[in-house]
Structure 1
Amino acid sequence: MCAGVYLDDGYRDAVIDELYVHEERIAAPSYGFDAARVLAHALRARRTELAWAAGVVVLWVLAVPLTGGMFVMLVGPCLMLSLSGWLRGSSRQPPLYRRIPAFLLRWYGRLVLAFVLAGLVVAAFGFGDSEDSGGYGYGEGGTSGGFGGYDGYGDSGAFGQAGSFEPEDLFGPVAGSGLPFGGAGTAWGILALLGVLTTVVALRRGQFARILTGELSPQRFPNHAADPAERGTGVRFGRLARYLRVEQHAPLVMYSASQPFCGAGSPYQPWNLSVELRPRKGSTPEAIDNAKIIERIVPLVEALRIPSPHGSPQLAAAVRDRLRELRTDECVFLPVTGLTRRDQAPYDSAGFEAHRRGSVEEGGESRRHFLRIRVGGWNEEVVVTVFVRVHTQGGMLMLEVAPHVLLPVRKLFQDADRIAHRHRNNNWFGKVVWALTHTPRSFGDALATLGRGAVSGWKMLTGGNGGALPDGPARSVRELGSDWDASLFQDMDINRYLKSVQDRVTGGVRLALYEAGWQTDEFEQKIVNVGAGAVFIESAHGSTIGIGDKNHITTNNNGVAGRTGGAAGKSGNGNGSANGTGNDGGVRSGNT
């Protein structure tokens, strides 16, 4: 993610806007990364990018008077190339209404640029000059040709007789005008300035490649104290970094009502159920509360860290399943409404413990207590978080489970080391070709960079965010940097983590009920099969819904309620109805 701010200016701007410009917003929970360090590199990348952009714009502006205004001919096609990239967008498969205009504008810009460059080369080498001309750009009688008689593309006076093209038609007006370059010298001057711009573009790329392979390399990045991105970042960043490093990993989650789980990723089939608490025959039930149920769930979930018996301790220690790194903790979600300053949030241990004790049995709407279970796989590229909430009220037990998944970071960010290594180890010809192909867009990209920097600075000056009331996170920098999907291996691991955790959660609730002397038949009936892709909830005298693949839902009233995943629903002799949906695309129902 630190490398991503150097590769994607849109992502960099989003990080700065969320964590730096809107300083009133509390940071979203950060799973497996340090948001303050990402912000430090985003600010450093912006400063560096602004410096390069200013240099590029200055070169383009100075090139115009140095060539007598002829350098302006390159501005049009170069801006077309930059605009085509903006029209297409950053999506892998942009819609047709973006792709078609971008394609036409890109190729039109390329053709115009190729025409202008061809004219420059012809003029620079003097091809087509007549032997009796008194110098480049002069016809008979020493009169200057070119744009003097030009009145449109259809006028042959601008392009010679019968529409023929001569170099002096483009560069004749500047010949002998007293500028540093005259005639062929003007063409050579334009080519020389293009060479300088190409060198600047190449040097800029080389600097970012050195940062990616040096400071952000796997060898140097773990040394947090030696990271140059956090040095000289100013008082504002120092203050915000202290807030970020407390908020992002705290068990107390200050949230906005519109996005309570911001930072945890995308919801992955959340579910809930309720059961009646009935005494078990032959036993005297004990009072059961939320805390006791949570205490029974935690050991079962944490037992997933222990490898199965492998015959020897050495073989067990060799198991590298990411479930060994499973983490559990209790967290409290607290609305940010009511705070007048960002540092008033009770993140200290005493404040959190007070909120935990008050919320575990409260069952409130705004302050909520959760057991948080997290598994980070693929070097924290895939993060599965399961939030579990248990509440007893009115002789009923309610169980809420909200799984969330953070997908891998973008492929571009993952390939940062590979991209930088390829560039630094490329031959000189490949580097020159890369710089030449990216130079035409340098002017438009530089203007866009300076514009975005100006807009961000204006927001900071006029937004009044420093004195605004605290607000919850609007976006998570981890979610902003996530890809759209996961590989098949990663998807298989996500399902395995979720099925394992959810099975232990439901098993813990069942054991807590049984050990306290309460019936578990209804609970077991409603939790039919957690391991088949979801949780299936069933009622003996009502509607039944099943979501997932190849699941079976049954009742005890002499009928088969429904079956999904390949067969139609069957009917029996009961009095309820059932509906099942599966990944085979069908919806089956049966009356029981």
Structure 2
Amino acid sequence: MSESPVPGQRADPDRPDPPDRPDPPDRSDEPDRPDEPDERYELDPPAPPNRPDGPGWSDEQDERDEADRPDRVTVRSPVRPEASEACRYLCAGTHLDKRFRDTVINELYVHEERFAAPSFGIDAARVLAHALLARRLELRWALAILAVWVAALPLTGGEFLWIMLPSLLFTAVSRTRRRLRRASPLLRALGTVLRWYVTLMLVAAMLTMFPFWDEARQLGSGLLGLLLHPPAMLFSFVPWRELSAWIDWPDPLVPLYVPFLVIAVLVGLRQGGFARLMDGPLSAAHFPDPTVDPAEAVRDGRARRLLALVRREQHSPLAIYDSADPFRGAGEPYEPWTLTVELRPRAGHQPEPVDNRAALERVRPLVEALRTPSPHGSPRAAEVVRDRLRELEVDECVFLPPDGLRRREEAPYDAERFAVQRREAIEEGGEARRHFLRIRVGGWEGELMVTVYVRVHTQGGMLMLEVAPYVLLPVLREFRDADRTAHRYVHNSAFSKAVRALTRTPSSLAGSVALLGGWSGSGWNVAVEGNRGALPEGPALAVRELGASDEASLFEWMDVRRYLQSIQERVGEGVKHALYDAGWQTAAFEQKIVNVSGGVYIESARNSAFGFGERSTAVTDNNTNRGTGNEQRRQ
């Protein structure tokens, strides 16, 4: 990896420090002075030239020059979290993935004692609203399908039982197959034999329903009797005839195929419901407008109250955290590092105390300057720049544990109480309550989120700089393909839709029972566990992390590294400026920051010891400094 000199580097490390304001005009071999103007970080654009007098000047020329003023370059705001593509995909995911939907409901609806994790680039409340909507829709379809299954028994004189039992066995074997993938070869072979046995039983039961094909019905009846003989012998102790005589089935009113086709129609309509959602409120055109979203029309009082709490907490600069994972919601750590430096006064200067606030105030404008596009001749040309750094967000956040709170509503989220928390936390350097400068960049329509937490603290003549980068990878591929899934279904042939519905009909009975069981279990937990009166807890899960993929494309990783390198360069430069302004040594340092296998170390520095990494070490002498940091690779 190529090495690039750090601003402020001199060619000769043994050369003495230059005076504060060197007289020689040629200062190319001297370090950059943070208190002198630096073209790279010039934030205030020059004033526009005065309008000349004369007949050659027109109002149109005045308007063009007004638009071409450097200060006319606007700062772009990031996409609203509730309207981002990442949020849309997660809302679609609640309709696609039952496990994801149930987890979201359990975290944000059942466990109402837990604070909501920070939501970067999404609105977790809107995802929860769609999870509740998806569950309501699934329950309606499940009740309708289950009602037909049950009603089919008396309508067919009990003969539909020979369809119901193989369907249940087929569903059970299909689910067991997934669990046997890592089992022993003997168990896998046994599972294969059982799967084929149940499949043949289901096919035989289907053949008995053919109304106008006597040969098929005879073949199905004979095959079904042959297949049922082994389990009948195995359970010979069961009085089958007595049970059959005890159940007085009425005469069949409808043939077997009628209720089966009705169930197939319901299954097909349920599958088409997702396509209608993706073409309506979850489409890219309609999703930014929450007023047309049926999920927002919540009538449940508990749901309305919890949605309001989530919206209050998820985007607040105050983060109530769980001690097991304080940065939950930000994604995965990406090479965090810590720098420690001895504070030594600069020759000829009386140093001033440098506090944490002063250091961060020097860092913030340099980081915010990353929003400004490089000169492109005119602001009109600069406006076409689409670099996501133009949407960079910088704020100050405070991390608090939930200890001492009786209810979630007592947390100091209001502006006045948060200002007190921030003022007290920034200088105390505490353990439980911590203050960070939070820098965020969202790319790829909010799917890729890069967050850098910066903390500065001075103690015992040392300055400690902590930088914790976090990365949220794109949404799961299955969720991102929701539009394609819906489009494929809508534009598929009628024959294909019919086949899909018929093949999913046997498993609809067990699926409906499972949905009703999950709903009743969730309601039981809400009624019995007493989460509303429990002491508040930190978040156990984050919706955005739950729907994040484990992989990213090369383009996305390139953007991650570019964002992080740009931000961390400005952070280091800002801290250096703060030290220099306070009269401490910085210009005498000759530094080379080199990335080594995910770690960072200072290859050379004078009269100071630097350490990077969790178990960093540093060796100091008058000529060179060698620091080594342990590897911190993102796993």
Contact 2:360 2:456 in 1 (8 A): yes
Relative to structure 1, the CA distance from residue 129 to residue 339 in structure 2 (aligned partners, 3 Å threshold; closer, same or farther) is closer
TM-score normalized by the length of structure 2: 0.75
1:273-307 deviations in whole A, cap 9, x for unaligned? 21111112232222110001000111111111111
TM-superposed deviation, 1:311:
2.9
What amino acid sits opposite 1:491 in the alignment? W
Equivalent of 2:203 in 109, 114, 117: 114
Contact 2:338 2:613 in 1 (8 A): no
TM-superposed deviation, 1:495:
1.4
1:108-187 to structure 2, matched below 5 A, reads 108-121=197-210, 124-127=212-215, 152=230, 179-180=251-252
Relative to structure 1, the CA distance from residue 242 to residue 544 in structure 2 (aligned partners, 3 Å threshold; closer, same or farther) is closer
1:13 matched residue in structure 2: 102
Q: Secondary structure at the match of 1:529?
A: strand
Q: Distance in 2 between matches of 1:579 and 1:466?
A: 46
2:152 matched residue in structure 1: 63
Contact 1:499 1:530 in 2 (8 A): no
TM-superposed deviation, 1:191:
2.0
1:51 matched residue in structure 2: 140
What amino acid sits opposite 2:251 in the alignment? L
2:263 matched residue in structure 1: 197
TM-superposed deviation, 1:266:
1.1
TM-superposed deviation, 1:496:
1.3
Q: Distance in 2 between matches of 1:333 and 1:94?
A: 43
1:494-524 deviations in whole A, cap 9, x for unaligned? 1111111111111111121122221227976
* Alignment of 1:460 onto 2:526: yes
TM-superposed deviation, 1:430:
1.6
Q: Secondary structure at the match of 1:373?
A: strand
1:166 matched residue in structure 2: none
TM-superposed deviation, 1:259:
2.0
What amino acid sits opposite 1:73 in the alignment? W
Q: Distance in 1 between matches of 2:311 and 2:629?
A: 48
* Alignment of 1:528 onto 2:606: no
Equivalent of 1:230 in 276, 290, 296: 296
Q: Distance in 2 between matches of 1:239 and 1:80?
A: 42
Q: Distance in 2 between matches of 1:503 and 1:496?
A: 11
Q: Distance in 2 between matches of 1:16 and 1:365?
A: 32
What amino acid sits opposite 1:30 in the alignment? S
Contact 1:503 1:531 in 2 (8 A): no
* Alignment of 1:273 onto 2:344: no
Relative to structure 1, the CA distance from residue 287 to residue 204 in structure 2 (aligned partners, 3 Å threshold; closer, same or farther) is same
Q: Secondary structure at the match of 1:274?
A: strand
TM-superposed deviation, 1:89:
5.7
TM-superposed deviation, 1:85:
5.0
Q: Distance in 1 between matches of 2:204 and 2:629?
A: 67
Contact 1:5 1:41 in 2 (8 A): yes
TM-superposed deviation, 1:178:
6.4
Q: Distance in 2 between matches of 1:374 and 1:291?
A: 20
* Alignment of 1:391 onto 2:457: yes
Q: Secondary structure at the match of 1:3?
A: helix
Contact 2:590 2:604 in 1 (8 A): no
Q: Distance in 2 between matches of 1:153 and 1:288?
A: 83
TM-superposed deviation, 1:464:
0.2
* Alignment of 1:37 onto 2:123: no
TM-superposed deviation, 1:580:
7.4
What amino acid sits opposite 1:29 in the alignment? P
Q: Secondary structure at the match of 1:75?
A: helix
2:403 matched residue in structure 1: 337
Greater relative contact order (CA < 8 Å, ≥ 6 in sequence): 2
Contact 1:16 1:42 in 2 (8 A): yes
What amino acid sits opposite 1:12 in the alignment? R
1:152-551 to structure 2, matched below 5 A, reads 152=230, 179-180=251-252, 189-520=255-586, 525=591, 528-529=593-594, 534-536=599-601
1:462-517 deviations in whole A, cap 9, x for unaligned? 01011111111111111111112111211111111111111111111112112222
Relative to structure 1, the CA distance from residue 403 to residue 147 in structure 2 (aligned partners, 3 Å threshold; closer, same or farther) is closer
Relative to structure 1, the CA distance from residue 396 to residue 19 in structure 2 (aligned partners, 3 Å threshold; closer, same or farther) is same
Gaps of 5+ in 1: 131-135, 138-145, 156-172, 548-552, 562-576, 584-592
TM-score normalized by the length of structure 1: 0.80
What amino acid sits opposite 2:430 in the alignment? G
Q: Distance in 1 between matches of 2:466 and 2:625?
A: 27
RMSD between aligned residues: 3.5
Contact 1:411 1:483 in 2 (8 A): yes
Contact 2:335 2:599 in 1 (8 A): yes
1:298-332 deviations in whole A, cap 9, x for unaligned? 11111111112223333221110111100000000
What amino acid sits opposite 2:388 in the alignment? R
Q: Distance in 2 between matches of 1:580 and 1:456?
A: 46
Relative to structure 1, the CA distance from residue 88 to residue 30 in structure 2 (aligned partners, 3 Å threshold; closer, same or farther) is farther
Q: Distance in 2 between matches of 1:415 and 1:213?
A: 14
Q: Distance in 2 between matches of 1:129 and 1:228?
A: 47
Aligned length: 521
Q: Secondary structure at the match of 1:361?
A: helix
Q: Secondary structure at the match of 2:353?
A: coil
Gaps of 5+ in 2: 1-89, 234-244
